[in-house]
Structure 1
Amino acid sequence: MERFETESLALMPGQKVQARVLSHHPWGVVVEIVGYENAGLSASIDMIQQFSRTTSSHAELLALFPPVGSQIDAVIEQIQCWRPPVSVRLSIRPADLESLAWRCDFCGERITLSPGGDALVLDSRSNDGPGSHTVISHRQCLAERIHPENAGERARAWEIGKMY
């Protein structure tokens, strides 16, 4: 991974994408995100994690696997940029496609990542080398953790991304 890998910056948790199924595996499927085929991303859907609690048999779970070669709707759950290649975890759960919820990394409460939700996605990078880490936060949780003397940054935490 280059010092400032930028291909994955266009992708955000909660964003809806189209994915093409490349292969089946015992745990799920490997996909490519349409429009990012040559971006050096690794993308997958963990079918066991998403559906094993709602299916009554292994055969029922396997029947949920989208066919190889098919193009499907998905939503980005996580993006991991710790080391190459950038790894993108997708969800195809109907509820997640409607509105993806996650846990705030500060308070642990549920937060909506989909458009219209109150989540902020923070990408932290080091001056020492490649890679980044994503933190999901409520606006309030981030604003409260910014030192009160830094009023400008606290105010920006409340306003970033809001449409005027």
Structure 2
Amino acid sequence: MPGCAADEAVRDDQLMQRFDSVGCDLVMGTAVRATIISHERWGVMAQVIGHETVGASVDAGVIDSPSGSPQARPEEYPPVGGQVDAVVQEINRYHPPAWIRLTMRAANLREFSWTCGCCGQLTILSPGGDGVTVDVRSSEGPGCASFAAHRSCLAGRLNPDFDGDRARVKAVGRDQPPPPAIGIGNQSPR
């Protein structure tokens, strides 16, 4: 016996492959370790440790050049098989396959910045910075659009009546005191 349209939609959605959930624990500014798997004329192919099923690359322009060149020369690339420190520069989950772009520049390892999608100024995405990554997804199908934003810019664009959402935007990912244990402070002495 056929179900209602909503039941059919749920069944259809369950069959859909959501490639955009791959590597979802990575955001721009995340420090990672990666293994270099090949040299290309434009940079290197890599595998992010712990996320080996997601493709990754590092453009020569974001590999420091010991010779002082604006981009690393092929002979300056890290060796194939070697492990390197890197920072997630961008994650493309809009169309399959998901892809991670990394940066290996020493300056980016210390502090990674990206343009705020709200005001156009740089925001710091490294831990302790003033930026967050916003992922936009839909229940209608796979795909994810992402952008960086200053916490204050994003919170300022939310409806002023959404105090909880504004507070969460400002606090997400930051150290917060643990919630009080249930019943603490509400108990009468025995």
TM-score, normalising length from structure 1? 0.87
Per the alignment, do residues 95 and 140 of structure 1 end up closer, same or farther by CA in structure 2, a change over 3 Å counting?
A: same
Which of 24, 29, 38 pairs up with 2:44? 29
Counterpart in the other structure of 1:55: 69
Note if contact 1:27-1:46 (Cα within 8 Å) is conserved in structure 2: yes
Matched residue SS, 1:23: strand
Measured in 1, the distance between the counterparts of 2:167 and 2:34 equals 37
Structure with bigger RCO (C-alpha 8 Å, 6+ apart): 1
Q: Runs of 5+ in structure 2 lacking a partner? A: 1-15, 177-190
Counterpart in the other structure of 2:96: 84
Measured in 2, the distance between the counterparts of 1:92 and 1:61 equals 14
Deviation at 1:26, TM superposition (A): 1.1
1:108-155 CA deviation, whole Å, 9 max, x = no partner?
A: 111111111111111110122101011111011001110112222222
Q: Runs of 5+ in structure 1 lacking a partner? A: none
Deviation at 1:158, TM superposition (A): 1.9
**Matches for 1:62-73 after TM superposition, within 5 Å:** 62-73=74-85
The aligned length equals 159
Q: Which moved more, 1:24-33 or 1:142-151?
A: 142-151
Deviation at 1:5, TM superposition (A): 4.1
Measured in 2, the distance between the counterparts of 1:4 and 1:32 equals 17
Deviation at 1:69, TM superposition (A): 1.3
Matched residue SS, 2:42: coil
Measured in 2, the distance between the counterparts of 1:158 and 1:30 equals 35
Note if contact 1:51-1:61 (Cα within 8 Å) is conserved in structure 2: no
Which of 156, 165, 169 pairs up with 1:157? 169
Q: Which moved more, 1:152-161 or 1:141-150?
A: 152-161
Matched residue SS, 2:23: helix
Identity percentage of aligned residues = 39
1:49-75 CA deviation, whole Å, 9 max, x = no partner?
A: 6568x507x8x6223211111111111
Per the alignment, do residues 19 and 4 of structure 1 end up closer, same or farther by CA in structure 2, a change over 3 Å counting?
A: closer
RMSD between aligned residues: 2.1
Give the letter for the 1:71 counterpart: Q
Matched residue SS, 2:17: coil
Measured in 2, the distance between the counterparts of 1:120 and 1:131 equals 19
TM-score, normalising length from structure 2? 0.76
Counterpart in the other structure of 1:111: 123
Q: Which has the larger radius of gyration?
A: 2
